[in-house]
A and B are shown apart, each in its own frame.
Chain A
Amino acid sequence: MIVILKTTVPLGLVVGLLAGLCLGRPVLDPVAAVRALLDPADPAHVLLVEGRLPRAVLAVGAGGALGVAGLLLQDVLRNPIAGPELLGVSSGAAVVTAAVVVLGLAVPVVLLPYAALAGALVAGALVVLTMGRTRSPDHVALIGAAVSAACGGLVVAVVGLGTQGNVVVLFRYLLGSLAARGWTHVEAVAPWLLVGLVAAALLARRVETLTLGDEVAAGLGVAVTRTRVLAVVVAAVLAAAVASVCGPVAFVALLAPHLARRLARTVATRRVLVAVVPVGAALLLCADQVARLVIYPVEVPVGVATTLVGVPALVLALRSRA
C-alpha cells in the first residue's frame, strides 16, 4: 500500500497536470502544450495560460489546503472522520453564493468569492465561538454538524426560490466545481491558503500533543484550548477560501490525511502535514480531470468526482490498515 502510494502521488500530480493542460478541446500533445504555454504567438496560448493552467493550479492549491484542514481537524478533535463539513464553512459559503445567484443581488462576479468567503468565515466563527463554552472535542463536532445542517437547510430554502436557470448554475456550485476558474480565483484564495499553510506548520507540533488527550497535552505545557481553537480557525480559513471559489468539494479533506498517514508511515501530525499537501493536491487534480473528461464535453461537478474516486480509495486505505 505504501509503495503504491509513494509512486501514485507524484504520478498523479504529473499525469493530472498533463491531462489538465493537454486534454479538452483542442487536444494537444504534451510538447505542443508546453510550446503553447511558452509562446504567446501560439493559437492555443490564451486557452492554456488563461484557462487550463490556472484551473490546474487552483486544483493543486485547493486540494493541498483541504488536506491540511482535514488533518488539523482530525487530530485536534481526535476524530478520524472530522472534516471541514463539521465547521459549516462550506455550507456558509454556499448560502451566500445561493443568495447572490438566486436573489440576483448586485455583487460583481469578481467579488463573489469574497462574499462567499465572508459567509464561510461567519459559519466557521459560529462554531469557533461556541467552542469556547465546551471542553469536549466531541461537542465541537456536534456543534459543527448542527451549524452545517442549519446552513444546508438555508441553501435548500434559497434554492427553492430560484428559477430553473439559476438552479442549474447553483447545482454546479453546490456540488463543488473548478470549471471556468481563472487567475482571479487563484488570486482570491492564494493569500488565505499561504497564511493558513504557514499557520498550520507552526501549530503542528502542539496539535500532535493533543492527540494524546487534553490532560497529557496540558501536562506537556501546551495551552490546550487555545491550540484547539487556533487549529479550528486555521482549518476554517483554509476550507472557507477553497469553498468560496470551488464550492464544497467533498471527501478530499477527509481522505487525504488518511492516505498521507499511510504514506508517511506515521500518525505524527508534523510529519503527516508534509505528506498531506501533495496527497490532497494529487487527489483533487485527478478528480478534476475525471470531472472534465468522464462524459466529455459535459462536465461533472468535481464534488461528484472526488466522491467517486474517494470512496473506493478510503475503503482500500482502511482495509490495509495493518
Chain B
Amino acid sequence: MTPPTTTVLAGDGLAAGHGRTTVVPALDLAVEAGTVTALVGPNGSGKSTLLMTLARVLPPRGGRVLLDGEPITARSSVEVARRLGVLPQTAVVPAGATVREVVEQGRYPQLGPWAMMRRRDDSVMERALRLTGLLDLADRRLDSLSGGERQRAWIAMTLAQQTGILLLDEPTTYLDVRHQIDLMRLVRGLCDEHGITVVMVLHDLNQAARYADRLVALRDGTVRADGPPTAVLTPPVLREVFDVDAVVVPDPVTGRPWFVAR
C-alpha cells in the first residue's frame, strides 16, 4: 500500500512564456508534498520559465497554477511568498550589500513592509546562514565573494523565508564539488526531516538521479519523461531530450541510475 499523497503545487493546462513568445504551450504537472523533484532539460527548454510561472513570478499565459489545491491567484503575493520560496537565476548583487543584509531580505514576507526598523530575526537568520555554511562570511560584502559563496547566500535568503515549498533554479551553479554535495544533502534533509517540498532545476543528471525522488525531463516546453530516476534516466530518454548517446549503469554507491556519455 502506498501512503496517501497530497498535491501542494500543480500546473493545470499551464502555458508559460515571456512577452509575446510562448515557451511552454500546455503543461500538466502535480508536485506531491514532501518530495524532491528535479527539472532537467537542455538550455532554453523552458525550465526557468516554468519554475518562475509556478512561483507566480511570471504571469501564466494560459491555464492555472494551483497552490495547495487552490488557484495561486486567490492568495495575495505575500501569502504566496510565505508558503513558497523561490530562487531565480536573475538575482542581482547590490553593490555594497553584506551577506547578512541580503539574507535578511528573505524575512520580508513574514515581517511585511511595516517592520521598518525592527530588530533582526536572529534565530531564523542564523539558521539559514549556518545551513549554508556562511556564518563566517555573514558580514562580508556579497560582491567581494566568489560565485559559489554568492550562490549560497541566495540559497540562505530563500531558506530564511521559512516556506514549506522551495523552488530552486540551478542552485548548484558555481558551487565546487564539496558544496554541491552539501547542498544536495541539505535539500534532502529539508525534505526528509522537515517535510519541505522541493522542485529544482539541475544540470547534473547523476546528481538529479541520486538526490531527487522524481525527474521531469523537459524539451521545447513539453514534458518528455516524468517519473522516478530509473524510469527517466534511460538511454532512449537521454537521446530524445539531450541528443546524447549514453550508457546507464547502476551508481556503485547507491544503485541509482548513473549515466556516462558514449
Note whether A and B form a binding pair: yes
Beyond A215-B57, A223-B77, is A78–B116 a contact (Cβ under 8 Å)?
no
Instruction: Tell me whether B97 and A221 are in contact (CB under 8 A).
Output: no
Chain A 232-276, CB within 8 Å of chain B: the 1/0 string? 000000000000000000000000000001000011101100000
CB-CB nearest in chain B for A213: B92
Contacts of B98 in A (CB 8 A): 266
Alpha-carbon distance between A213 and B76 when the two chains are bound, in angstroms: 20
Beyond A216-B92, A219-B57, is A209–B108 a contact (Cβ under 8 Å)?
yes
Alpha-carbon distance between A157 and B86 when the two chains are bound, in angstroms: 52
Contacts of B95 in A (CB 8 A): 80, 267
Instruction: Tell me whether A221 and B94 are in contact (CB under 8 A).
Output: no
Alpha-carbon distance between A223 and B81 when the two chains are bound, in angstroms: 12
Residues of A within 8 A of B (CB): 78, 80, 201-206, 208-209, 211-216, 218-223, 261, 266-268, 270-271, 321
Selected contact of A209 from candidates B56, B87, B105, B117, CB within 8 Å: B105
Tell me how far the C-beta of B123 lies from the nearest C-beta in chain A, rounded to whole angstroms: 20
Contacts of A78 in B (CB 8 A): 92, 94
24 A-B residue pairs with CB within 8 Å: A78-B92, A80-B95, A201-B116, A203-B113, A204-B116, A205-B112, A206-B113, A211-B92, A211-B97, A212-B92, A212-B94, A212-B102, A212-B105, A213-B91, A216-B90, A218-B57, A219-B85, A219-B86, A221-B77, A266-B96, A266-B98, A267-B94, A267-B96, A270-B116
Chain B 89-121, CB within 8 Å of chain A: the 1/0 string? 111101111100110111011001111110000
In the complex, given contacts A212-B102, A219-B57, what are 17 additional A-B residue pairs having Cβ atoms less than 8 angstroms apart?
A78-B94, A201-B116, A209-B108, A211-B97, A215-B88, A216-B88, A216-B91, A216-B157, A220-B105, A220-B161, A221-B76, A266-B97, A266-B98, A266-B101, A267-B95, A267-B97, A268-B101
Tell me how far the C-beta of B84 lies from the nearest C-beta in chain A, rounded to whole angstroms: 8
- Chain A, interface SS category: helix
Contacts of B86 in A (CB 8 A): 215, 219
Instruction: Tell me whether B96 and A261 are in contact (CB under 8 A).
Output: yes
Report, nearest first, the 3 A-B pairs whose CB atoms are least far apart.
A221-B81, A215-B88, A221-B78
Instruction: Tell me whether A211 and B94 are in contact (CB under 8 A).
Output: yes
Beyond A80-B95, A219-B57, A270-B116, is A213–B78 a contact (Cβ under 8 Å)?
no
Tell me how far the C-beta of B243 lies from the nearest C-beta in chain A, rounded to whole angstroms: 29
Instruction: Tell me whether B77 and A222 are in contact (CB under 8 A).
Output: yes
Whether, in the assembled complex, B209 has its beta carbon less than 8 Å from a beta carbon of chain A, the answer is no
Whether, in the assembled complex, B80 has its beta carbon less than 8 Å from a beta carbon of chain A, the answer is yes
Chain B 117-139, CB within 8 Å of chain A: the 1/0 string? 10000000000000000000000
Alpha-carbon distance between A203 and B113 when the two chains are bound, in angstroms: 8
Contacts of B77 in A (CB 8 A): 218, 221-223
Alpha-carbon distance between A39 and B83 when the two chains are bound, in angstroms: 64
Total interface residues on B, using CB and 8 Å? 40
Selected contact of B91 from candidates A206, A212, A270, CB within 8 Å: A212
CB-CB nearest in chain B for A274: B117
Whether, in the assembled complex, B16 has its beta carbon less than 8 Å from a beta carbon of chain A, the answer is no
Whether, in the assembled complex, B40 has its beta carbon less than 8 Å from a beta carbon of chain A, the answer is no
CB-CB nearest in chain A for B86: A219
Whether, in the assembled complex, B52 has its beta carbon less than 8 Å from a beta carbon of chain A, the answer is yes
Instruction: Tell me whether A220 and B90 are in contact (CB under 8 A).
Output: no
CB-CB nearest in chain B for A211: B94
Contacts of B101 in A (CB 8 A): 266-268
Tell me how far the C-beta of B159 lies from the nearest C-beta in chain A, rounded to whole angstroms: 13
Whether, in the assembled complex, B233 has its beta carbon less than 8 Å from a beta carbon of chain A, the answer is no
Alpha-carbon distance between A266 and B112 when the two chains are bound, in angstroms: 20
Alpha-carbon distance between A206 and B108 when the two chains are bound, in angstroms: 9
Selected contact of A215 from candidates B91, B108, B113, CB within 8 Å: B91
Whether, in the assembled complex, B225 has its beta carbon less than 8 Å from a beta carbon of chain A, the answer is no
Instruction: Tell me whether B90 and A215 are in contact (CB under 8 A).
Output: yes
Alpha-carbon distance between A218 and B56 when the two chains are bound, in angstroms: 8
Contacts of A223 in B (CB 8 A): 77
Alpha-carbon distance between A219 and B86 when the two chains are bound, in angstroms: 6
Whether, in the assembled complex, B55 has its beta carbon less than 8 Å from a beta carbon of chain A, the answer is yes
Contacts of B85 in A (CB 8 A): 219
Tell me how far the C-beta of B165 lies from the nearest C-beta in chain A, rounded to whole angstroms: 12
CB-CB nearest in chain A for B108: A220
Residues 32-82 (chain B) with a chain A CB within 8 angstroms: 52, 55-57, 76-82
Instruction: Tell me whether A205 and B92 are in contact (CB under 8 A).
Output: no
Instruction: Tell me whether B90 and A213 are in contact (CB under 8 A).
Output: yes
Alpha-carbon distance between A268 and B97 when the two chains are bound, in angstroms: 7
